[in-house]
Amino acid sequence: MKKNLAEFLGTFWLVLGGCGSAVLAASFPDLGIGLLGVSLAFGLTVLTIAYSMGHISGAHLNPAVTIGLWMGGRIKAKEILPYVIAQILGAIVAAGVLYLIVTGNGSEIGSFAANGYGIHSPGGYGVVAAIITELVMTFMFLLVILGATDEKAPKGFAGLAIGLALTLIHLISIPVTNTSVNPARSISQALFVGDWALSQLWLFILIPIVGAILAGLVYKFLKSK
């Protein structure tokens, strides 16, 4: 229960901090933080949770990460479902809090930092570009996580490496899909946007999981003797 609660709180923080910065501060009049600021916000959420709650649950904060770590032999299968449920619930609650904040001055939620492709991609990128982006970014994210948390890796730096990796991923891929690499983050925003966000949600659930599974298999091969 403590591990699941830590995953709930950690994912809550990731969505509130990352999506909150995108919705509230990215283009705030005159002093918007822009794509660089949003990318840093996502990385900082992971960085802060990794060092504050990583010792409790591992700070996965992401169903794809949980599945990738299982595929890489780091966790047991029985841990997957409770973690994923906690992550999705934490993300939804964060999106609910963000909804209340955004609409607090009478504003509409707009795209609400939901992930999309085609006309709903920030840069107008199509479904193939979105699939490639989410697959490759999640694959590399999991390789960084698996490598940085390996027992032979330098101690105490995993959170920094993972947080910076997520920042880099957002710097690359926000223009393409608004960056998912995290089904929980995508689900939470899509539920509030509805319509097109829900119809495109399949990509941001399926593709990050596939990328994570591939990374787990590759890392196991790299570690094999």
pTM over 0.95: no
Q: Quote the distance between the C-alpha of residue 165 and its chain's center.
A: 11
| Closest C-alpha among 93, 113, 83, 90 to residue 11 | 90
CA distance 112 to 16: 12
pLDDT of residue 26: 80
Q: What is the pLDDT of residues 15-61, one digit of tens each?
A: 999 999 999 888 766 667 888 899 999 999 999 999 999 999 989 99
Q: Are 60 and 159 contacting, i.e. CB atoms less than 8 angstroms apart?
A: no
How far does Cα 66 stand from its chain's mean position? 12
CA–CA dist 131, 16 (Å, integer): 25
45 close to 18: Cβ distance less than 8 angstroms = yes
pLDDT tens sequence across 141-176: 999 999 999 988 888 899 999 999 999 999 999 999
| Residue-wise pLDDT tens digits, 20-29 | 999 988 876 6
Write down all domains in the chain, each with its CATH number in brackets.
Answer: 2-223 (1.20.1080.10)
Asked whether the beta carbons of 171 and 35 are under 8 A apart, the reply is yes
pLDDT at 126 over 80: yes
Residue matched to tokens 């060092």: 51
